[in-house]
Amino acid sequence: MDFAPLHAATALVEQSPRSGQALLLFALISTLSMPQGHHAYLLTKLKEMEPATRQIAYGLMELMAQGAITQAQWQEAVQRMDRAVRGG
């Protein structure tokens, strides 16, 4: 499993947690992390992403499809991003 998109998302969010691109990725990864198929992310949000951010988003969606959300690496990354966004 290639966790490069997860690392890229984490780096982007931690570097600039209040930027629009970081918040779009954080919203996506938070939605993908919800158990039992609550994947209610508006795909039209992809239009708001810059091409590089959109590629990260596609990679995150592929990781979710491969079951990465159950991995400790995914969960730790989500926690790091959550702390960055919430200012902790």
- Quote the CA–CA distance of 12 and 25 in Å, as a whole number: 9
Write down the pLDDT at residue 88. 64
Write down the pLDDT at residue 37. 59
pLDDT tens digits, 37-82: 556 667 788 899 999 999 999 999 999 999 999 999 999 999 999 9
- Quote the CA–CA distance of 58 and 10 in Å, as a whole number: 15
Write down the pLDDT at residue 31. 87
DSSP annotation string for 21-53:
HHHHHHHHHHHHTSSTT-----GGGGGGS-HHH
Which helix (H) or strand (E) segment holds residue 66: the answer is none
Write down the pLDDT at residue 12. 97
- Quote the CA–CA distance of 46 and 36 in Å, as a whole number: 23
Under 8 Å between Cβ of 59 and 5: yes
Domain of 40 in residue numbering reads as 4-86
Number of domains in the chain: 1
